[in-house]
Amino acid sequence: MLLFMKYSPKKLDDLAGNEEARTRIRQWILNWMRGKKQRPLLVHGPTGIGKTSVAYALMREYDLELLEMNASDLRNKEHIERVLANALSAGSLSGKGKIILIDDVDALQRADSGGSSAVVKILKANAHPIIVTASDIWEKKLAGIRAECEQIPLRRVSKPTIAKILRRIADSEGMKIADDTIIDNIANDANGDVRSAINDLHAMTLGMRDREKDIFERVRTVFKAEKYSDAKKASQGDVEYNILKLWIDENIPAEYDDPDDLAKAYDMLSRADVFEGRIPRRNNWTFLKYLIDLMTVGVALSKKKQYHKFTRYQFPRYLKEMSATAARRAILKEIGRKIGELVHCNRKDALEYLHLLRHWAEKNQIAVMDHYRLTEEEIAFILEVTVEEIKKKKGKKIEEVVEEEPKEKKRLAETKDEEKKSVKKEVVPEIKKGKKKNSGTLLEFI
């Protein structure tokens, strides 16, 4: 069983963080159980913070029967009305009270065929406790749903709280984690997503064992192969090419002793990196076959002869520090959230603008960072460069501004002086002329 399912909240108080929201939800369900009809709840917030778990926790704690409708059920008006109407009208076979969960209702915004109006109709009937969840509630098509519900926002869970949860699970599962900073790194990369953090812990401690056994065989195949067909076997089946590339990169010096073999192998790996970079820039996945051939066959045939020795292949240092997929996912989530806030869409849809943002950032990096409040790491991810390159470019831009500022001030000062001289030349003769005229008038008056 997946750990996030095994350790899902059994009662409302097991949910991490969001104390105020939990209090409101508990009062809501207790009022229903006392016979006081309540408005449906619209529980919203980022992915992985426990929106769906709210309904399951209430089901377990108060012994209720849960009817769930998720994004795959929200196809069109007729389908929604048929499923929910039958469920709401039917009595519970167990005699228990019912609670209705309409999960990920913002899925309606992609291809809505009257689905939102059907959900609104069910919410107005309000025969049972209904919980609606969404990541982004501010789409126009959800306006009717918002109007019928009491909104309960859930906030991102803090990093210390996530780390505490992970340590509790690790102790309960008997996981041996030598370096305590691994858990802190997972908590940092999760960006408030508890489910993601638990999945990453599971992958790094349990699932990684089987993956390591498979990856060792693939790495050994690359380094010991002497023919094209043998080396190709390393890339057959289900393989994460980016992980395999990291393993090959880490172990080339351990396998190859000859400096020429080392140089040729790293040259092949470098060319593989070039094709990997072209895939997202040109949105062309046909480059993947060249990437895989270069990093497997290219590295394998770089040696003059096979090395008949035992090599203890090392786990990539980069993967020891953090899960590469987790870091990438965390950065994408945060970038999507920041873009979504400005273009008024959810996080996943916002990432469709990423290629446009990359094009703009190539021309004006600082303007993009300021406008979307992006960190140096995030803009580096978008531009597919290192953070050091971003810092260097940003520093250079600041120096140009600092150097330009005194020049601009000098130009403004010179412009003002010219304007003063011009005004003085025009005004002084008029003043003198006025004085003579006034003087004459005064003498005549006397």
Lowest-pLDDT range of 1-15, 16-30, 206-220: 206-220
pLDDT at 344: 77
Same-domain status, 251 and 370? no
Q: How far apart are CA 132 and CA 119, in angstroms?
A: 10
Contacts of 387 (CB under 8 A, 6+ apart): 376, 377, 380
Same-domain status, 247 and 365? no
Q: How would residue 209 be classed by pLDDT, with cut points 50, 70 and 90? A: very low
Lowest-pLDDT range of 115-119, 225-229, 283-287, 397-401: 397-401
> Tens digit of pLDDT for each residue in 213-268?
578 888 999 999 999 988 988 888 767 788 889 899 999 999 999 999 999 999 99
Residue 114 is which amino acid?
Answer: G
Lowest-pLDDT range of 92-106, 153-167, 261-275, 405-419: 405-419
Q: Which residues pair with 153 in a beta bridge?
A: 44
Mean pLDDT of 48-75: 81
Domain presence at residue 395: no
| CATH number for position 99 | 3.40.50.300
Same-domain status, 116 and 217? no
Same-domain status, 135 and 17? yes
* Residue 194 or residue 283, greater confidence: 194
> Percent of the chain scored above 90 by pLDDT?
18
Same-domain status, 197 and 64? no
The residue from 124, 153, 182 where one domain ends is: 153
Q: Specify which of 113-117, 378-382, 401-405 reaches the highest per-range mean pLDDT.
A: 378-382
pLDDT at 39: 92
Domain presence at residue 392: no
pLDDT at 395 over 90: no
Same-domain status, 185 and 231? yes
pLDDT at 443 over 50: no
Mean pLDDT of 409-435: 56
Q: How many domains does the chain have?
A: 4
pLDDT at 296: 94
The residue from 274, 298, 322 where one domain ends is: 322
Q: How far apart are CA 49 and CA 151, in angstroms?
A: 16
Mean pLDDT of 266-291: 87
pLDDT at 26: 93
The residue from 90, 125, 153 where one domain ends is: 153
Same-domain status, 122 and 104? yes
Q: How far apart are CA 386 and CA 236, in angstroms?
A: 31
Domain presence at residue 412: yes
pLDDT at 410: 60
pLDDT at 28 over 80: yes
Name the residue range of residue 206's domain. 159-322
pLDDT at 208 over 60: no
Q: Specify which of 95-109, 153-167, 186-200, 374-388 reaches the highest per-range mean pLDDT.
A: 153-167
Domain presence at residue 393: no
Same-domain status, 267 and 369? no
Q: How far apart are CA 59 and CA 98, in angstroms?
A: 9
Query: CB under 8 Å, gap of 24 or more: what pairs does 196-199 form?
Result: 196/47, 196/48, 196/326, 196/329, 196/330, 197/48, 197/162, 197/165, 197/166, 198/3, 198/4, 198/7, 198/165, 198/166, 198/169, 199/2, 199/3, 199/4
Domain presence at residue 397: no
Lowest-pLDDT range of 18-27, 301-310, 393-402: 393-402
Domain presence at residue 12: yes
Mean pLDDT of 7-33: 90
Q: How far apart are CA 162 and CA 385, in angstroms?
A: 30
Same-domain status, 123 and 64? yes
**Which sign does the torsion angle of CA 113, 115, 117, 118 carry?**
positive
pLDDT at 179: 66
Residue pair 25/58 in contact (Cβ under 8 Å)? The answer is: yes
Same-domain status, 318 and 346? no
Domain presence at residue 15: yes
Average pLDDT of the chain, as a whole number: 78
pLDDT at 439 over 60: no
pLDDT at 129 over 70: yes
Same-domain status, 111 and 163? no
pLDDT at 295: 94
Same-domain status, 230 and 296? yes
pLDDT at 95 over 90: no
> Tens digit of pLDDT for each residue in 285-333?
888 889 999 999 999 999 998 888 888 888 887 665 554 456 677 788 8
Instruction: Provide the token pair at 390.
Output: 């971003």
Q: How would residue 442 be classed by pLDDT, with cut points 50, 70 and 90? A: very low
Domain presence at residue 252: yes
